[in-house]
Chains A and B, each alone.
Chain A
Amino acid sequence: MNDEQQQAFEQCLYRFVGRQVCARTAAKDAVNEAMIRHWAETVGDANPAYTDAQWAARSARGRIIAPPAMMYSWNQEGFPVVAQGRAPDAQTELVDLFNENGFTGVLGTNVKQEYYKEIGLGERVHLEMVIDNISEQKATARGIGYFFETLASFSDQHGDLIGTQRFRVLKFIPPETAAAADGGGAEQDTLQTPTRIAAPRGHDNSWWWEACDQGQVLIQRCRNCQTLRHPPRPMCGECQSLDWDSIESCLEGELLSFTELHHPRIPGYPLPLICGVIRLREGVNLVANIVGAEEQALAIGMRVQGKVEQVDEKTMLPQFYPAENGVEK
């Protein structure tokens, strides 16, 4: 989309601001015990204010109230949406306009409900909704797009305001993904458990990771002066020789330093996540996770024993345990 096209598109777009999505409409059903009970059962909410008439009669309110989170439910259109599709309104028109211009991605980002008045059995919720605002074009993590916000107002049978809901939606141009290319990812049938981020493997270090995949931790050794080095690199720091071989570590060592990562939580990494620097008995340092102990139980200088373990579907890693835990080698 060039500047001119964007201008033309935005001119159409911003005309939607302030347009009514629906005029004040009464819910098909008044607030009733049966719908509240279904909600309370499925959500597992045992609050007697919603379902226990005896308790409610003696409470400060003196009556059963509708769960506030059900405010929007009373006016939902229900099953006909599936059977016939949504009737056109300003919001569906707005979505169509976005889709025609390539902003086909959709993501609900925020929803805020405010409640001004509790309502009881027999009362009837009325809903009206407008398109309240549309943002300028934004570059988001999902792609280029626009946020739009609908404002729903809920009132009772007397016209008194019960509450409001602001719903913010991002419409964006989705990046071309592999999933889109193979037909929308429909063949992905099972929940993919995220794995750890794979270590980059290059010319100078892939041999080390390949050994790790086989359950070994190797330490690089200069063939000229016998100095050990880690992490892997092409040249000896002592004698500048490019000639090297390796020895296998016994994975016994001493904890030089450690830290626990609390934030951010990264999918695929179990908590607690403790990273340590281990001085191996062979004399080089290795960074690895410390497992099998709480952070409080660790101390600088303590002896640790490592083991190469499969930590997820794709990853083998050396992990270290406090030595007294008696890990089998």
Chain B
Amino acid sequence: MTDYRTLAFEEVEVGDKLPSLEIEITTGLIVSTALATRDFEPVHHDKAVAQATGLPDVFMNILTSQSFMTRFVTDWSGPEAVVKSVDIRLGAPNVPGMVMTVTGRVQAKDDDAGEVEVAVAGENNIWGMHMEGCVRLQLPGS
């Protein structure tokens, strides 16, 4: 059993930066994550249907963007953190051949609730901002 550590609320400061995460966008990733979130909309697995909407290829579904946003934050916080909300503004689609870099920074702390608010952005290298928003987490006390 691996030892997992979870950040304590007191250890986190406003302004702390999270380790960035690079995600290589492939057809396999787009199709697999769409199906794993039970999203069978053809634009996420059928290139011809995606192209008919004016895009060059299949594109990532929203549930997957939400998933990467929470994964990014809990990778940093550790597993005992409780995710309270994920608020996302959606930007340019992620299509195969791109690389999305996810970055984040602690932007607020709520001492009463023991919650931290992390601003997160995912930018792809071709079209720019894919997702931007914030994740609220409840962290255990030390």
Contact = CB atoms under 8 A, between A and B. Distances in A.
Interface of A: 35, 38-39, 41-49, 52, 54-55, 59-61, 67-70, 72-74, 76-79, 81-82, 107-115, 118, 177, 179-180, 184-186, 188-194, 265, 267
A78 B95 CA distance: 22
Nearest to B29: A42
B105 to A, nearest CB: 15
B22 to A, nearest CB: 11
Q: Which of A110, A111, A177, A186 has the most CB of B within 10 A?
A: A111
Nearest to A111: B88
A22 B54 CA distance: 31
Contacts of A52: 1-2
B38 A189 contact: no
Contact of A72 (B40, B63, B79): B63
Q: Which of B35, B36, B38, B64 has the most CB of A within 10 A?
A: B38
Contacts of A59: 79-80
Contact of B54 (A42, A46, A185, A190): A185
- Interface range on chain B (Cβ under 8 Å from partner): 35 or more
B118 to A, nearest CB: 14
A69 B67 contact: yes
A42 B63 CA distance: 12
Contacts of B127: 194, 267
Given A60-B140, A115-B85, A70 B37 contact: yes
Nearest to B98: A191
A211 to B, nearest CB: 31
Contacts of A177: 54
Interface stretch (B10-18, B68-76, B106-114): B68-76
A108 B79 contact: no
B70 A191 contact: no
Contacts of A193: 126
A43 B68 contact: yes
A107 B67 CA distance: 20
Nearest to B123: A265
A115 B84 contact: yes
A73 B123 CA distance: 24
B66 A111 contact: yes
B66 A188 contact: no
B128 interface: yes
Ordered nearest first, which 10 A-B pairs have the shortest CB separation?
A76-B38, A69-B67, A45-B71, A112-B87, A49-B79, A42-B32, A42-B36, A185-B54, A114-B85, A38-B36
Nearest to A113: B86
Interface in B17-70: 23, 29, 32-33, 35-42, 48, 51-57, 62-64, 66-70
Contact of A82 (B23, B40, B69, B95): B40
A35 B42 CA distance: 20
8 contacts: A43-B67, A49-B80, A68-B83, A69-B63, A114-B84, A189-B56, A191-B96, A192-B56
Nearest to B54: A185
A191 B96 CA distance: 8
Given A35-B38, A52-B1, A73-B36, 8 more contacts: A39-B37, A69-B67, A82-B42, A115-B83, A184-B51, A184-B52, A186-B48, A192-B56
Contact of B36 (A43, A79, A191, A194): A43
B62 A108 contact: yes
